[in-house]
Homo-oligomer: A and B are copies of this chain.
Amino acid sequence: MTDLDAPLAAYPGYALRRAAIATMAELSARLAAVDCRVIDAMVLILIGDRTDVIASAIGRALDIQRANMAPLIGRLESAGLVERRPIDRKSLAVVLTGPGRERLARVRAITETFETELLARVPAAHRDHLLPALDALWRD
């Protein structure tokens, strides 16, 4: 039967929404294998080897409200993946633990595979345009 969403098909905003929902659902399913959510993976990758990253800065970089960082980091800490290290008497660095670094390695492997496959699904003629086009829509 004819596509019922034909009236929306020409809108890049619609395609952007549908593509993001579909791909994030797929990534979410893959990260479940290592007990991580998409947001957890982003935070772990962002921290990496650094020992100077505070929760507020992570929130600003990923557009997560400061108030929502507390339970997020708390969950990662409860899972033994990160620890809070005092920088001064006000700020706490969020640092990966040993198990956190092991988890990051697995998260990186899943993410790299996912991103490679995502890009491979884009026809070659359009492939190199995707990232710059998307970046123009939110980095500015």
What residues on B are CB-neighbors of A131 within 8 Å? 10, 12, 15
Counting CB contacts under 8 A, is A121 at the interface?
Answer: yes
In the complex, A140 Cα to B125 Cα: how many Å?
A: 18
Q: How many angstroms between the C-alpha atoms of A5 and B122 in the bound complex?
A: 24
A104-140, CB < 8 A from B: 111, 114-115, 118-119, 121-123, 125-127, 129-140
What is A's interface to B at a CB cutoff of 8 Å?
Answer: 3-5, 7-8, 10-24, 27, 38, 42, 45-46, 48, 53, 57-58, 60-63, 111, 114-115, 118-119, 121-123, 125-127, 129-140
Could you give 25 example pairs across A and B, Cβ below 8 Å? Answer: A4-B46, A4-B53, A4-B58, A4-B60, A7-B46, A8-B45, A10-B131, A11-B111, A11-B115, A12-B134, A15-B130, A15-B134, A16-B16, A16-B23, A16-B134, A17-B23, A18-B63, A18-B139, A22-B138, A23-B138, A121-B136, A121-B137, A123-B136, A126-B136, A129-B129
